[in-house]
């Protein structure tokens, strides 16, 4: 959450000669980040990002205390000017009966005043507007001004509107109840919201989030009820998010604001209304305070401080830092005992929290850089490093002309290739096309093809998880390697060649290609009985493949095997046969090999209808081959192919 | 014999000089010096000569053999030179496009992950990966998140349609790589021998998911999470590692600063800023007063160590989790109009990198 504040306003609570730039830098480095510092009308605006644990710094006074501590630690003279509020002495009771529910609201402070409703003086309206708050009238402006200065949100009601029933009962909303907020928008409540009821079932306030129109200050307002409510933060969050009303009050209240500040806010509000709205008290301050914060005292050893931070920080320095921040530190044996201020009660509860206070104000920039001293010394084994193989496979695909894509893990029903009940389902998806965790990658690649319709040719791949539902436990996340080739006159062999090259590069041998049994035309690839993956020919110009990366990993190898290089030259001969198209190539090659151990290699040179040309490479490990040797083998090949496949030399 | 030798030499010389290419020379060489070449055959006759003639004829024969080989070598050189000359004279349009081997593209995210892994490997961090579909316990509960923390709302986190587990709570899509922290601690403490220190230097890079999709957020994104746990690990170590990464990844011209921040699972918590590469730290519309936020980190919260079976009284640690997309954008100054283009399948985009 961000807050914009004027330098001149901040300086009402801090005495220092430091300029705005210095204050901004010190705050950024030790406390909250000043994201922008802008010149504004002879003044400066700080635009500050406040972390969710520090709602106390969504205020001028909170920031002034923080800045004073940070500046003085850096050797720049600075002092926090603690505000003092004038007490309200009147004991007069309210004419309104307020009934609290301590489960919902921690504290209510309220006071009734006669006022003269009019625009705010320039000083007030300018300060608000510099902080992106619209000036409305003096009564409403005071609530916003106090929220910014003291740090507790507050509300102002038209007192006479409340007195129509004379009752205000704090309760939970019921589902379906309707309200109209003061910006004239209608909402239907979901139930469980903190509301004020006028005793007749009508809602007169959505506490901590936004006022309602029926009780709001309007042009004819004469009397007001200034009202501070400190609420259960979780209910505020639920209401504010559920109704999408992200008012500043709600963003503060949902973080939990300092309940002790409720009275400060009321008193400061009264002071201001007296000053700018000719206000006169018509009641004393009503204060119902059932839930007081628990104030903790923590003990911390000096050695602990130093070992976590990594350097020696004098205990006196730690003491001063904590004291400046509003803690109450006391030196004890070998350390400090630290009382936590009310505005940090939600946030500081352990030794480590205290160390954080010390180290941040001491300044991270003042610490040296070291590297962790240990090395694990665990042996590193390349072949079992899955990340090595992932990178190697990706790189191989890159150099085979593939472009890597990252598609979403979530898909719509149309891309889920199975029954929706068998898929891992997201309960609260953002869009209908991202509901199911995918169980296969290929549909996402096909979507990529559709989205690049203009491309006649493309090659893409992805290495990503699929998610397989498992009863009673987290789904199986399995890494899959998927690729897709699109191109005119695309041969199945192009995809098969990629797979063959991949397996060779991974050191995987003994792989068998079998005709796919189901789905589209293609091949299933096995190692033994284990399915490695599939190649699918989907369309004339579209082939995809998907392999199980985990199974591939089981078989990868970096083992080096040496075979003596041949000492005698090879003889090469091309043979062409007229042979039935249906006879699988693998069978022919096997038959040729069976004819002689002088046949070192058989390659397919060309296929034309029923004619296949083979290149036979002859080689002996023991001697030079003579033409007689070759003639003998050649004749055996020809007769064997004739016998088994009725093939003829062509 | 003498005469025959000289004649052979003369024949060979004139043929060699007239030869116009390497093939011709090879043929001549075979014809004269081969296994059954003319000179070879003639030399076989030396044995038949009277003994006193043999040394003289032998010397002559060797001389001739040497000079024929010499001539062949000279002519070979001449021919090579000539060929080079003629190649030089051929017209060559070097502006024609080359015949490229196939060359595809690795995704920007892959490229970034590879570099980040390499940098952290240099200081001993090992890569790990943990589930993307995760239990609330690992993603929130064990990381010290309060029961009502906004990150646990179904406005921010994706929930899986699954029964709530008695021990681990609801099933979700992990919103950060921090869910690997306690998993890594438990894995380490489970596998280590008694008395062994839980020395952890982890780098967890994974897909994460959050319910936010706009020009600067994608519902699926990547984080890298570093965590070090051991004896006497201090804030100064965290600072040193941050500094090492930034100097390695962003280069020597970028500065860093560490600011206080707030996270549930670290205490103290910090945020790391890197000076803006566009304005060199002077301040511009892309940065905040000259700084860009890189990401958060801090000392591992004692409750988190406890949940990982590590005694916070004996050991300390630090952790950080940063966006892969973020560091990539910050370094390259890629001004993507919409971050989601990374996951869009747009080949015109992907092929640029």
Give B106-172 as a DSSP string.
Answer: --HHHHHHHHHHHHHHTTTPEEE---SEEEHHHHTGGGT--TT-GGGSTTTS-BBSSPPBTTTB-EE
User: For chain A, what percent of residues have pLDDT higher than 70?
Assistant: 100
Is A272 within the bounds of a domain?
Answer: yes
Is B100 within the bounds of a domain?
Answer: no
Residues in A closer than 8 angstroms to B192, CB to CB, are none
Inter-chain touch A474–B344, beta carbons under 8 Å: no
Q: Are residues B141 and B234 in the same domain?
A: yes
User: For chain A, what percent of residues have pLDDT higher than 90?
Assistant: 89
Q: Does the CB of B133 have a partner CB in chain A at under 8 Å?
A: yes
pLDDT for position A520? 66
Q: Are residues A161 and A48 in the same domain?
A: no
Q: Is the dihedral of CA B111, B116, B117, B121 positive or negative?
A: positive
Residues in B closer than 8 angstroms to A34, CB to CB, are 289
**Hey, of A352, A361, A480, which one would you mutate to test binding to chain B, going by the most B CBs within 10 A of its CB?**
A352
Candidate from A307, A352, A364 with C-beta closest to B301: A352
Can you list the positions of beta strands (E) in A66-219? 78-80, 97-99, 105-114, 155-158, 167-172, 178-180, 186-188, 194-197, 203-206, 210-211
Inter-chain touch A369–B240, beta carbons under 8 Å: yes
**Hey, of A406, A410, A433, A549, which one would you mutate to test binding to chain B, going by the most B CBs within 10 A of its CB?**
A406
Q: Does the CB of A467 have a partner CB in chain B at under 8 Å?
A: yes
Q: Does the CB of B123 have a partner CB in chain A at under 8 Å?
A: yes
Q: Which residue has the higher pLDDT, B207 or B58?
A: B207
Q: Name the 3-class secondary structure at A74.
A: coil
Is A85 within the bounds of a domain?
Answer: no
- Does residue B175 contact residue B219 with C-beta atoms inside 8 Å? no
- Does residue A503 contact residue A511 with C-beta atoms inside 8 Å? yes
Read off the pLDDT of each residue in A39-55 and give the average, rounded to a whole number. Answer: 94
pLDDT for position B147? 86
Q: Does the CB of B269 have a partner CB in chain A at under 8 Å?
A: yes
The total number of structural domains in chain A stands at 5
Q: Are residues B136 and B282 in the same domain?
A: yes
Q: Are residues A305 and A390 in the same domain?
A: no
Is A90 within the bounds of a domain?
Answer: no
Q: Are residues A606 and A638 in the same domain?
A: yes
Candidate from A368, A376, A447 with C-beta closest to B345: A447
Read off the pLDDT of each residue in A200-216 and give the average, rounded to a whole number. Answer: 97
Read off the pLDDT of each residue in A263-277 and give the average, rounded to a whole number. Answer: 97
Q: Does the CB of B258 have a partner CB in chain A at under 8 Å?
A: yes
Is B288 within the bounds of a domain?
Answer: yes
How far does Cα A486 stand from its chain's mean position?
A: 36
Phi (first) and psi of residue A335, to 5 degrees: 180, -150
Q: Please list, in sequence order, all residues whose beta carbon lies within 8 angstroms of the beta carbon of residue A263, skipping any fewer than 6 positions away.
A: A109, A228, A285, A287
Residues in B closer than 8 angstroms to A368, CB to CB, are 236, 239-240
Candidate from A404, A407, A452 with C-beta closest to B105: A404
Give the CB-side neighbour count of residue B38, counting CA atoms within 13 A.
Answer: 17
Q: Are residues B319 and B243 in the same domain?
A: yes
Inter-chain touch A405–B171, beta carbons under 8 Å: no
Inter-chain touch A350–B346, beta carbons under 8 Å: no
Inter-chain touch B350–A403, beta carbons under 8 Å: yes
Query: In the sheet where A33-40 sits, what is the strand order?
Result: A2-6, A43-49, A33-40
Is A377 within the bounds of a domain?
Answer: no
Residues of B (192-231) whose Cβ lies below 8 Å from A:
197, 199-201, 207, 209, 211, 213, 219-220, 228, 230-231
What are the respective helix, strand and coil percentages of chain A, to the nearest 5?
A: 35, 30, 40
Q: Are residues A108 and A40 in the same domain?
A: no
Last residue of a domain, one of A555, A587, A621: A555
A500: domain range?
382-555
Q: Does the CB of A428 have a partner CB in chain B at under 8 Å?
A: yes
Q: Please list, in sequence order, all residues whose beta carbon lies within 8 angstroms of the beta carbon of residue A473, skipping any fewer than 6 positions away.
A: none
Last residue of a domain, one of B89, B117, B142: B89
Q: Categorize the per-residue pLDDT at B67 as very low, low, confident or very high, splitting at 50, 70 and 90.
A: confident
Q: Are strands A476-486 and A458-468 parallel, antiparallel or unpaired?
A: antiparallel
Is B95 within the bounds of a domain?
Answer: no
Candidate from B104, B114, B207 with C-beta closest to A459: B104
Read off the pLDDT of each residue in B58-76 and give the average, rounded to a whole number. Answer: 86
Phi (first) and psi of residue A92, to 5 degrees: -60, 135
Is A61 within the bounds of a domain?
Answer: yes
Calculate how close chain B gets to A560, using CA atoms only, in Å: 26
pLDDT for position B142? 97
Q: Are residues B336 and B239 in the same domain?
A: yes
Q: What is the pLDDT of residues B177-190, one digit of tens each?
A: 999 999 999 999 99
Candidate from B155, B200, B268 with C-beta closest to A359: B268
Q: Are residues B72 and B165 in the same domain?
A: no
Q: Are residues B271 and B321 in the same domain?
A: yes
- Does residue A295 contact residue A340 with C-beta atoms inside 8 Å? yes
Q: Which residue has the higher pLDDT, A530 or B338?
A: A530
Is B101 within the bounds of a domain?
Answer: no
- DSSP string covering A468-535, please? E--TTSPPEEEEEEEEEEE-TT--HHHHHHHHHHHHHHTT---EEEEE-SSSSEEEEEEETTEEEEEE
Is A562 within the bounds of a domain?
Answer: no
Average pLDDT value for chain A = 95
Q: Are residues A400 and A547 in the same domain?
A: yes
| Continuous H helices in A159-294 | 159-163, 233-243, 248-253, 261-276
Q: Does the CB of A474 have a partner CB in chain B at under 8 Å?
A: yes
Q: Are residues B204 and B126 in the same domain?
A: yes
pLDDT for position A119? 97
Average pLDDT value for chain B = 91
Q: Does the CB of B265 have a partner CB in chain A at under 8 Å?
A: no
**pLDDT at position A519 over 70:** no
Q: Does the CB of A465 have a partner CB in chain B at under 8 Å?
A: yes
Smallest CA-to-CA distance from B222 within B232, B213, B212, B209 is with B209
Give the CB-side neighbour count of residue B309, counting CA atoms within 13 A.
Answer: 12
Q: Are residues B79 and B193 in the same domain?
A: no
Inter-chain touch B261–A429, beta carbons under 8 Å: no
Is B98 within the bounds of a domain?
Answer: no
The total number of structural domains in chain B stands at 2
B54: domain range?
2-89
Q: Are residues A118 and A27 in the same domain?
A: no
Q: Are residues A446 and A585 in the same domain?
A: no
Q: Are residues A123 and A75 in the same domain?
A: no
Beta bridge partners of A80: A14
Is A92 within the bounds of a domain?
Answer: no
CATH of the domain at A491: 3.30.930.10
Candidate from B160, B219, B231 with C-beta closest to A427: B160
CATH of the domain at B272: 3.30.930.10
Q: Are residues A45 and A133 in the same domain?
A: no
Read off the pLDDT of each residue in A486-501 and give the average, rounded to a whole number. Answer: 94
Q: Does the CB of A190 have a partner CB in chain B at under 8 Å?
A: no
Last residue of a domain, one of A259, A288, A317: A288
Q: Are residues A319 and A238 in the same domain?
A: no
Q: What is the pLDDT of residues A219-258, one digit of tens each?
A: 999 999 999 999 999 999 999 999 999 999 999 999 999 9
Is A402 within the bounds of a domain?
Answer: yes
pTM of the model: 0.85
Q: Are residues A483 and A447 in the same domain?
A: yes
Q: What is the pLDDT of residues B295-306, one digit of tens each?
A: 999 999 999 999
**pLDDT at position B277 over 90:** no
Q: Are residues B54 and B162 in the same domain?
A: no
Q: Does the CB of B340 have a partner CB in chain A at under 8 Å?
A: no
pLDDT for position B27? 86
Inter-chain touch A427–B233, beta carbons under 8 Å: no
CATH of the domain at A7: 3.30.56.10
**Hey, of B236, B273, B320, which one would you mutate to test binding to chain A, going by the most A CBs within 10 A of its CB?**
B236
Q: What is the pLDDT of residues A619-641, one digit of tens each?
A: 998 888 888 999 999 999 999 99
- Does residue B208 contact residue B223 with C-beta atoms inside 8 Å? yes
Q: Give the whole-angstrom CA distance, residue A136 versus residue B93.
A: 77
Q: How many helices (H) and strands (E) does chain B have?
A: 11, 9
Is B103 within the bounds of a domain?
Answer: no
Last residue of a domain, one of A330, A361, A392: A361
Q: What is the pLDDT of residues A374-395, one digit of tens each?
A: 887 788 999 999 999 999 999 9
Residues in B closer than 8 angstroms to A431, CB to CB, are 213
Q: Are residues B219 and B299 in the same domain?
A: yes
Q: Does the CB of B270 have a partner CB in chain A at under 8 Å?
A: yes
H or E segment and range at residue A7 = helix A7-10
Calculate how close chain B gets to A376, using CA atoms only, in Å: 6
Q: Does the CB of A22 have a partner CB in chain B at under 8 Å?
A: no
Q: Residue A87, Cβ neighbours under 10 Å: how many?
A: 9
Is B96 within the bounds of a domain?
Answer: no
Beta bridge partners of A227: A110, A155
Inter-chain touch B104–A52, beta carbons under 8 Å: no
Range scoring the smallest mean pLDDT among A4-8, A33-37, A130-134, B16-20: B16-20
Q: How far apart are the first and last CA of chain A?
A: 83
Q: CB contacts < 8 Å between A and B, how many?
A: 222
pLDDT for position A621? 86
**pLDDT at position B59 over 90:** no
Residues in A closer than 8 angstroms to B220, CB to CB, are 408-410
Q: Does the CB of B95 have a partner CB in chain A at under 8 Å?
A: no
Residues in A closer than 8 angstroms to B234, CB to CB, are 307-310, 370
Q: Categorize the per-residue pLDDT at B123 as very low, low, confident or very high, splitting at 50, 70 and 90.
A: very high
**Hey, of B114, B121, B133, which one would you mutate to test binding to chain A, going by the most A CBs within 10 A of its CB?**
B133
Q: Are residues B50 and B142 in the same domain?
A: no
Is B102 within the bounds of a domain?
Answer: no
Inter-chain touch B104–A404, beta carbons under 8 Å: yes
Q: Does the CB of A437 have a partner CB in chain B at under 8 Å?
A: yes
DSSP at A208: T
Q: Are residues A128 and A246 in the same domain?
A: yes
Q: Does the CB of A381 have a partner CB in chain B at under 8 Å?
A: no
Q: Are residues B138 and B35 in the same domain?
A: no
pLDDT for position A273? 97
Candidate from A406, A429, A459 with C-beta closest to B342: A406
Candidate from A36, A234, A371 with C-beta closest to B123: A371
């Amino acid at each position: 959450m961000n807050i914009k504040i004027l330098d001149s306003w901040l300086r009402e609570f801090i005495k220092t000669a430091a300029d705005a730039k210095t204050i901004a830098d010190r705050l950024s480095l030790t406390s909250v980040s000043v994201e922008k510092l802008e010149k504004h009308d002879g003044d400066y605006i700080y635009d500050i990002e406040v972390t969710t644990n520090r709602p106390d710094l969504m205020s001028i006074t909170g920031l002034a205390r923080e800045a004073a501590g940070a500046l003085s630690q850096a050797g720049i003279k600075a002092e926090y000017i603690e505000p003092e509020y004038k007490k309200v002495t009147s004991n007069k009771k309210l004419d309104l009966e307020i009934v609290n529910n301590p489960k919902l609201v921690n504290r209510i402070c309220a006071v009734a005043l006669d006022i003269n409703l009019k625009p705010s003086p320039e000083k007030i309206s300018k300060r608000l507007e510099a902080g992106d708050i619209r000036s409305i009238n003096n009564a409403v402006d005071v609530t916003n001004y106090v929220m910014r200065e003291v740090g507790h949100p507050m509300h102002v009601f038209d007192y006479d509107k409340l007195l129509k029933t004379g009752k205000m009962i704090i309760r939970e909303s019921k589902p379906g109840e309707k309200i109209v907020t003061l910006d004239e928008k209608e909402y239907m409540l979901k139930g469980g919201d903190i509301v004020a009821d006028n005793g007749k079932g009508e809602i007169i306030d959505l506490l901590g989030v936004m006022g309602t129109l029926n009780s709001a200050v309007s042009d004819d307002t004469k009397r007001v009820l200034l009202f501070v409510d400190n609420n259960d933060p979780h209910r505020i969050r639920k209401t504010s998010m559920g109704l999408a009303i992200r008012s500043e009050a709600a963003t503060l209240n949902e973080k939990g604001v300092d309940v002790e500040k409720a009275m400060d806010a009321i008193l400061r509000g009264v002071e201001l209304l007296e000053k700018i709205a000719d206000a006169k008290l018509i009641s004393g301050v009503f204060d119902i305070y059932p839930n007081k914060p628990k104030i903790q005292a923590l003990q911390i050893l000096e050695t602990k401080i130093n070992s976590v931070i990594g350097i020696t920080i004098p205990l006196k320095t730690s003491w001063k830092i904590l004291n400046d921040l509003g803690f109450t530190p006391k030196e004890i044996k070998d350390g400090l005992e630290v009382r936590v201020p009310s505005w940090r009660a939600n946030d500081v509860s352990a030794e480590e929290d205290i160390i954080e206070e010390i180290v941040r104000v001491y300044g991270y920039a003042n610490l040296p850089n070291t590297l962790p001293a240990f090395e694990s010394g665990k042996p590193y084994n390349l072949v079992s490093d899955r990340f090595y193989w992932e990178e190697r496979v990706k790189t191989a695909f890159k150099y085979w002309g593939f472009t890597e894509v990252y598609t979403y893990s979530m898909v719509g029903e149309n891309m889920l290739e199975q029954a929706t009940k068998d898929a891992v389902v997201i309960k609260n998806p953002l869009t209908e096309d991202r509901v199911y965790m995918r169980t296969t990658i290929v549909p996402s690649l096909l979507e990529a093809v559709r989205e690049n319709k203009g491309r006649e040719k493309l090659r893409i791949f992805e290495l990503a998880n699929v998610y397989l539902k498992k009863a009673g436990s987290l789904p199986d996340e399995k890494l899959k390697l998927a690729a897709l080739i699109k191109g005119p006159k695309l041969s199945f062999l192009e995809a098969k060649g990629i797979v063959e090259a991949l397996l060779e590069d991974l050191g995987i041998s003994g792989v068998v290609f079998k005709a796919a049994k189901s789905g589209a035309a293609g091949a299933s690839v096995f190692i033994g009985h284990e399915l490695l993956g599939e190649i699918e020919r989907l369309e004339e110009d579209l082939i995809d493949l998907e392999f199980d990366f985990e199974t591939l990993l089981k078989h990868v190898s970096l083992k080096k095997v040496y075979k003596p290089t041949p000492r005698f030259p090879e003889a090469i001969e091309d043979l062409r046969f007229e042979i039935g198209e249906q006879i699988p190539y693998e069978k022919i090659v096997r038959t040729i090999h069976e004819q002689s151990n002088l046949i070192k290699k058989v390659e397919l040179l060309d296929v034309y209808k029923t004619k296949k040309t083979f290149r036979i490479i002859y080689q002996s490990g023991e001697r030079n081959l003579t033409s007689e040797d070759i003639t003998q083998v050649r004749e055996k090949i020809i007769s064997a192919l004739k016998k088994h496949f009725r093939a003829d030399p062509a | 014999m003498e005469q025959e030798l000289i004649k052979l030499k003369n024949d060979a010389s004139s043929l060699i000089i007239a030869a116009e290419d390497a093939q011709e020379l090879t043929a001549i060489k075979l014809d004269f010096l081969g296994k059954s070449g003319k000179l070879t055959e003639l030399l076989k006759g030396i044995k038949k000569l009277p003994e006193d003639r043999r040394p003289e004829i032998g010397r002559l024969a060797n001389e001739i053999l040497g000079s024929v080989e010499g001539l062949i070598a000279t002519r070979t050189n001449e021919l090579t030179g000539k060929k080079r000359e003629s190649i030089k004279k051929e017209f060559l349009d070097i502006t024609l496009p080359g015949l490229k081997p196939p060359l595809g593209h690795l995704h920007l995210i892959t490229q970034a992950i590879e570099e980040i892994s390499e940098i952290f490997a240099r200081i001993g961090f090992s890569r790990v990966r943990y589930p993307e579909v995760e239990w609330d316990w690992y993603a929130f509960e064990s990381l010290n998140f309060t029961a009502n923390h906004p990150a646990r709302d179904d406005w921010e986190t994706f929930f899986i349609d699954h029964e709530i587990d008695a021990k681990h709570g609801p099933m979700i899509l992990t919103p950060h790589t921090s869910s690997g922290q306690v998993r890594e601690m438990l894995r380490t403490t489970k596998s280590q021998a008694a008395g062994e220190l839980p020395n952890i230097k982890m780098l967890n890079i994974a897909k994460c998911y959050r319910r936010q999709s706009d020009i600067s957020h994608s519902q699926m994104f990547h984080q890298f999470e570093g965590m070090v746990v051991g004896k006497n690990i201090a804030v100064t170590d965290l600072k040193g590692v941050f500094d090492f990464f930034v100097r390695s990844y962003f280069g020597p011209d970028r500065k860093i600063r560490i600011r206080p921040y707030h996270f549930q699972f670290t205490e103290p918590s910090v945020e790391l800023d890197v000076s803006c590469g566009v304005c060199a730290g002077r301040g511009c519309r892309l940065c905040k007063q000259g700084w860009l936020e890189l990401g958060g980190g801090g000392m591992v919260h004692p409750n988190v160590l406890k949940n990982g079976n590590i005694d916070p009284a004996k050991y300390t640690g630090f952790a950080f989790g940063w966006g892969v997309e973020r560091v990539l954008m910050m370094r390259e100054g890629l001004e993507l109009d919409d971050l989601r283009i990374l996951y869009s399948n747009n080949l015109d985009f992907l092929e640029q990198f």
